[in-house]
Amino acid sequence: MSSQDPSAGPSRRHFLQSAGVLAGTPLVGAAAARAADVPPEEAPAIARAVALRVNGEIHTLRIEPRTTLLDALRDELGLTGTKRGCDRGQCGACTVLVAGRRINACLALACAHDGDEITTIEGLGTPEHLHPLQAAFIETDAFQCGYCTPGQLCSARALLDEARRGDCSAATADVRAVGPVVLDDAEIRERMSGNLCRCGAYPNIVAAIRKVASA
């Protein structure tokens, strides 16, 4: 209990508390006044037109500039094969291909890819005509729950092209070598390290990619 004499006036603690309340009051009041002046239905919509070329089809959308590519694909276009995992670019579940290169859709703004060629798992193959990687994943039992599989497949598709171009990785023995990179297990594991599998199907994922790469 405080032994402060009431006649000594307000304490330093009470003074600071009062000052904080009073300092915030004008801001709150101004914000309320602005909100009252402009009805929500009359407020200008913050949106812009974006043309996303997804799996060979052009989709024109009006979206808020902060909309991620992941949200645009899933919520606006209904392409839910691309999964939402960590939302921080750490798990790879949302991996898609943009101009043939893999990116994390949760970290990309849809507006930044206006006009770019985007490939999702829906554009990689169909049940009637599987991509060789999809067929290999089935043959080698490279998935269990399947949640990470769309991102794994898109990442693996880009991996094959990277190796053909001769792009090096941290596992490449000779970075000065010219020509395609041989995809041994070490190369595949390193290049797929950005895609996590909670079920732990990594050996079979590596086997599936090695099967397609050797063919």
Could you list the pLDDT tens digit for every one of the 215 residues in the chain? 445 555 555 566 565 455 444 344 343 333 333 444 545 454 446 899 999 999 999 999 999 999 999 999 999 999 999 999 999 999 999 999 999 999 999 999 999 999 999 999 999 999 899 999 999 999 999 999 999 999 999 999 999 999 999 999 999 988 888 899 999 999 999 999 999 999 999 999 999 999 999 98
Q: Are residue 154 and residue 107 in the same domain, yes or no?
A: no
Residue 105, domain CATH: 3.10.20.30
What are the CA-CA distances from residue 7 to residues 4, 17, 115 (Å)?
Answer: 9, 19, 73
Q: Are residue 133 and residue 105 in the same domain, yes or no?
A: no
Q: Are residue 215 and residue 159 in the same domain, yes or no?
A: yes
- Domain termination residue (choose one: 64, 98, 123): 123
Residue-level pLDDT at 26: 40
Residue-level pLDDT at 46: 86
- Give me 101's structure tokens: 């290169």
Residue 119: strand pairing partners: 97
Residue 57 host element (H or E): strand 57-63
> For the chain, what percentages of helix, strand and coil (3-state, to nearest 5) are there?
45, 15, 45
What is the extent of the structural domain holding 49? 30-123
Residue-level pLDDT at 23: 44
Q: What is the pTM of this model?
A: 0.78
Instruction: Determine, yes or no, domain membership for 12.
Output: no
Is residue 93 within 8 Å of 74, Cβ to Cβ? no
- Domain termination residue (choose one: 100, 123, 146): 123
The candidate with the shortest Cα–Cα distance to 47, out of 124, 110, 101, is: 110
Query: In total, how many domains does the chain have?
Result: 2
